[in-house]
Chains A and B, each alone.
Chain A
Amino acid sequence: MTGRLESGRKVVEGSYAVAHAAAMCRPDVISAYPITPQTHIVEDLSQFVADGVIDSKYINVESEFSALSALVGSSAAGARTYSATTSQGLALMHEVLFNAAGMRLPIVMTIVNRSMSAPINIWNDHQDSVAQRDTGWIQLYIEDAQELVDATVQAYMIGEDPDVSLPVMVCMDGFILSHVFEPVDLLDQEAVDKFLPRFTPVRALDPNNPESFGMFVDPEYYMEFRYLVEQAMDASRPKIEDAARKFESAFGRYYGGLIDTYETDGAEIILVAMGSLVGTLRDVVDSLRNKGVSVGLLKIRAFRPFPADEIRKVVADAKVVVVLDKNISLGTGEGAVTTEIKACMHNTDIRVPVLGFVVGIGGRDIPVTTVQQIVEKAQDVARSGTVSAGASEFVDVKHDLISG
């Protein structure tokens, strides 16, 4: 190694901040397919390797399927591994995502959230990673560049915990976070080394003790392995909170564990969102609170595992819950977060209406005024106490382009 990476507060692009944070975690192997849709994350990491400032093995592969497959092999051999991808690239990894989780390999991957084709569109929504929610990966949705830096380190701590041993997606909004410059406290290598221990795999490939990883399992045992992944997801809940709190002790910053809340105590209206939209909503909550509107914000930081208990505690005494989804589960008429928020209240004593809104699809802007109009609708429901069962509202859809 010939140099060292900068540290301290700098104004950097979100992608650079993530690349820097990943480098600080000393991954043994980085693998990526460097073509559209990619981001500056893996480009910056390849520059670090070329410049000799990190000594990771960097594997250029021929597709995203291969990028993740290379990490499956590397992680099984005991390496700390990293990749980043987005939209169609993540979709091409779909089969390997299940393998990484089923083989209990704590790969960390940044997902730069972008919409899915068709039509082709390179802007932000959450459809790409939400569509992968059943693959067995922990999913964290991140609010800003600083949280991305810090959550990248936390992701290794969570995933590599022997009680968890699962891969982790750190999801960031495309362009809104990946291509915007913000002031960021870049981490210091010594501090990260002190915080994040070296990876000790539960079991690793070893030529001196040959074993088969990812074996064929017949119906006699298959269900048990799937159940073990679910148990590991459950075990990760306190670990996600622990990692966030330990990070706070070491670095002084905290963004929530499974969830974060803002002005929710006694709030009649609870807004629910994931990702960078949470930042917009904090401002909306501030301005509405100044006008006397009883509104609070629930940020879902971990979508997998789904924080049902934590959500129930926050919404139990509210009059209405408003969910803003940057995804559509086509055929249900609503986003996946809305469905799961409703589901987590079912079979409980909580009787709070849930209003779903599909927003910001394909990078459509979500201005403060749009959110204010949504809150006005929520106020009507809070006053009347009634809500009609039905699909989510697709916000700002240009019906004049569709009909006629």
Chain B
Amino acid sequence: MIPHAPIGEAGTTLANKTGSWRIFIPVYHAELCNGCGTCETFCPEGIVHKRVDGDTFTADYDYCKGCGICARECPRDAITMELEEK
């Protein structure tokens, strides 16, 4: 039985791993990253974050759709978009 309106379990965006939609993957080159955080600011999915062991950034690939905005905005060209083999 469906409810009267499209109402359901909360938090299901975590269950739906949208990283599978990706064609190009952003590769974060830590040696070029100055930790400015521009990539984190511009990410439309909110899935760019600092690496746990440093001041440089990376993406959560479970949810990164590969839009390439972070690579476009990075002032150090420290992110490259590469065709992902699956």
Contact = CB atoms under 8 A, between A and B. Distances in A.
Contact of B4 (A104, A211, A216, A221): A104
Contacts of B7: 203, 211-215
23 contacts: A102-B5, A102-B6, A103-B5, A104-B5, A165-B4, A202-B5, A203-B4, A203-B5, A210-B10, A210-B11, A211-B7, A211-B8, A211-B9, A211-B10, A212-B9, A212-B10, A212-B12, A213-B6, A213-B7, A214-B6, A217-B6, A224-B2, A232-B4
B54 interface: no
A225 B10 contact: no
A180 interface: no
Contact of B3 (A102, A203, A210, A216): A203
Chain B interface residue number, banded? 10 to 19
B5 A213 contact: yes
Contacts of B6: 102-103, 213-215, 217, 225
Interface in B1-40: 2-12, 16
A221 B8 CA distance: 13
A213 B11 CA distance: 11
A232 B5 CA distance: 11
A228 interface: yes
A202 B4 CA distance: 9
A102 B8 CA distance: 14
Given A202-B5, A216-B16, 9 more contacts: A203-B3, A203-B5, A211-B8, A211-B9, A212-B7, A213-B6, A215-B8, A215-B12, A224-B2
Interface in A201-239: 202-203, 210-217, 221, 224-225, 228, 232
Contacts of A232: 4
Query: What is the interface of chain A mostly: helix, strand, loop, or mixed?
Result: loop
B2 A221 contact: yes
B12 to A, nearest CB: 6
Interface string A110-139: 000000000000000000000000000000
Nearest to B16: A216
A219 to B, nearest CB: 14
Nearest to A213: B7
Contacts of A213: 5-7
Interface string B52-73: 0000000000000000000000
Given A203-B7, A211-B7, A215-B7, A225 B2 contact: yes
A96 to B, nearest CB: 15
Interface string A276-287: 000000000000
A256 to B, nearest CB: 28
A228 B8 contact: no
Contacts of B3: 203
Contact of A228 (B4, B9, B11): B4
Contacts of A224: 2
A210 B12 CA distance: 11
A215 B3 CA distance: 12
A203 to B, nearest CB: 6
Contacts of A211: 7-10
A166 to B, nearest CB: 10
A165 to B, nearest CB: 6
A241 B25 CA distance: 59
A224 B11 CA distance: 23
A35 B20 CA distance: 44
Contacts of A217: 6
Residue from B8, B9, B12 whose CB has the most chain A CB atoms within 10 Å:
B8
A213 B10 CA distance: 9
Nearest to A165: B4
A304 B3 CA distance: 23
Contacts of B9: 211-212
Contacts of B8: 211-212, 215
B21 to A, nearest CB: 14
